[in-house]
Structure 1
Amino acid sequence: MPRISLVRHGQASFGSDRYDRLSALGERQSVLLGQHLRRIGFHADAWLSGSLDRQRSTLAAVLRGLEVASSTDFHEGFNEYDHEAILGAYLPRVMADRGLTPQELNPLLGDNRLFQGIFAQVMKHWIDGTPHERPPFETWKAFQARIHASLERLAHSGHERIVVVSSGGPISLAVQAALDLSIEKTLALNWSIYNASVTELKMRKGELLLAGFNNVAHLQLAGEEGLLTYR
C-alpha cells in the first residue's frame, strides 16, 4: 500500500523581485522538518520534488536536516500553477471590476487578507476559463489532469514510502481527489496550507485516501516565534 508524504515548500520570497526562492525563514522551516524526521526515525524509499527552485531547495534543506545524501530527483508534474501568468491575464480585469487604479495595487499586495480576496477572484476567472489577451498558459483543467496523472504515476512506482516536495495548489488537488471536494472547498483549502507542512496520502485498492493533513508539529515543537507561515 503506497504512502505518499506531500510537503509544501518552505516560505518563498513573496514581494521580492524573485518569488521562486526560499527566504531565510523558509530554509529554517525545511531544515527543522528534516531534523524532526531524523528524530522520529523516518525513512522513505524515494525523495523527490517539483522542478521549481523553492521546491528543490526545500528538499535539499530537509535532507540536510535529516543528515542523508541530497536528492536531485525532480518531477515537473508536481510544479505549482503559473501564478504570475494567471495574475497577468486576469488582475487588470479584477481591478477594473473593483474600481481600483494601478496606484492602489501596491498597498493591497502588502495586506494578506485583501490580496487573498483579489487573488481568489483572479483564480475564479482562471478556473472558469475566462478569455484573456495574454499568451496561452496552462488551463485549470490541464493543471488538474497533470496533478492526477503525477499521483497515479507515484502510486504505481513500486515504492512503498515516497516524499514529494510540492506546493499548495498540487497538494490541494491531491486532497480534493481523496475527499471528492468541490472546487470552492479546494481553493479554500489551498489558502490554509502552511509552509513546510506535511500532508499524508495512501493508496488502498486503487483508491486515494487522506491519512493526515497540514501537519506542522515539527515547527510547533521548535518553539520559535514566527515559524508558521502561509506564503
Structure 2
Amino acid sequence: MAALYLVRHGQASFGEPEYDQLTQKGRQQGVMLGQSWQTLPRPEKIYTGLLRRHTQTFQAFNEQVKLNSAVNVLKGLNEFDHNDILISAQPHWQNQQDVINYFAKLPSPKEALNKAFNQALATWVDKQHSQHYQENWSTFKSRCISAFNRIIEDREIEEQQIIAFTSGGVIAVIIQHLLQLSDQQCLNVMQQLRNTGVTKILFSVDRISLDYFNNYRHLEQVGASWSTYR
C-alpha cells in the first residue's frame, strides 16, 4: 500500500498582524520533525499548500531529511481564511486592523482572541452554506476533499511514500471524510491537532484507511512546551 503523511505546519504567528509566518518555535518544530524522520521511509513525493507557513515548515523539515524531489504546490491544501471568519463574526469589525485594535486593549489579548476565534469558527461551520463568507464551510470541505482525492489519484507507484504540508482545518476535514464524522466532531478533531503533528493514511486501488492521527512524539520527547496548538 501507499502512504500519505499529512503534516500540520509549525507554530504560526497567531494574533500578530502577519499570521502566515512561522515563529522561531514553529521553525524549530519543523527541524525536530525532520530529525525524528531518520528512521521512517523517505517520502518520494512532496506536496505543500500555497501558504508560507507550509513552505517554511517543509524547508525546516528538509534541512534534516534532505529530499531532492520536486515540490508539488496544491492550492486545495490551503487553510480557511481565519481573518474573514473573525471579521464576519462582528458587524463593527471592517478589517484585520479593527480586530487587532480591539484585542490589543484587553488584559489577555491572545487568550481573548483565541476564545473569539473558536466562537467565530463554530458560527462559520453552523452557517455552512452562507454566502456571507468569502469561502463557506461547505465549499471549504469540498476543496479539501478534492485536493485529497487528487493526491491519491496521482500516485505513481504502488507503494509510494507521499508527504503533504498543510493546515489543521484541511487535515480535520480529511479525517471527517474518512471516518464519516459530524461537523461538530470535525471541529473537535481540529482543536486537537498539534503543530507539526503527523497523520498517516494508507491507500491502495480499492482501499483508504487511517493508520494514525496527530502523532507529535517528536515534540513530547523534548518537552511539553513544544506541543502547541496555535
Fold match, TM over 0.5? yes
- Tell me the residue number matched to 1:16: 16
Aligned-partner residue type, residue 149 of structure 1: S
- Tell me the residue number matched to 1:35: 35
Q: Does 1:89 align with 2:110?
A: no
Query: 1:7 is paired with a residue of what secondary structure?
Result: strand
- Tell me the residue number matched to 2:225: 226
Distance (Å, rounded) in 2 between the aligned partners of 1:91 and 1:157: 42
C-alpha displacement of 1:41: 4.3
Q: Does 1:155 align with 2:159?
A: no
- Tell me the residue number matched to 1:120: 118
In structure 2, the CA distance between the partners of 1:90 and 1:44, relative to structure 1 (3 Å rule), is: same
Distance (Å, rounded) in 2 between the aligned partners of 1:45 and 1:14: 32
CA deviations 1:167-203 (Å, max 9, x no partner) are 0000000111111111001001101100011001122
Aligned-partner residue type, residue 14 of structure 2: F
User: For this pair of structures, how many residues does the alignment match?
Assistant: 218
C-alpha displacement of 1:108: 5.5
CA deviations 1:12-46 (Å, max 9, x no partner) are 011222110100000000011111112x0421120
C-alpha displacement of 1:205: 4.7
Structure-1-length-normalised TM-score: 0.85
Query: 2:88 is paired with a residue of what secondary structure?
Result: helix
Distance (Å, rounded) in 2 between the aligned partners of 1:209 and 1:169: 19
Does the CA contact (< 8 Å) of 1:172 and 1:186 recur in 2?
yes
Structure-2-length-normalised TM-score: 0.85
Aligned-partner residue type, residue 173 of structure 1: V
Distance (Å, rounded) in 2 between the aligned partners of 1:152 and 1:5: 14
Please provide the CA RMSD for this pair: 2.4
Structure 1 residues not aligned, in runs of 5+:
95-101
- Tell me the residue number matched to 1:212: 212
Does the CA contact (< 8 Å) of 2:80 and 2:140 recur in 1?
yes
In structure 2, the CA distance between the partners of 1:23 and 1:140, relative to structure 1 (3 Å rule), is: same
In structure 2, the CA distance between the partners of 1:41 and 1:103, relative to structure 1 (3 Å rule), is: closer
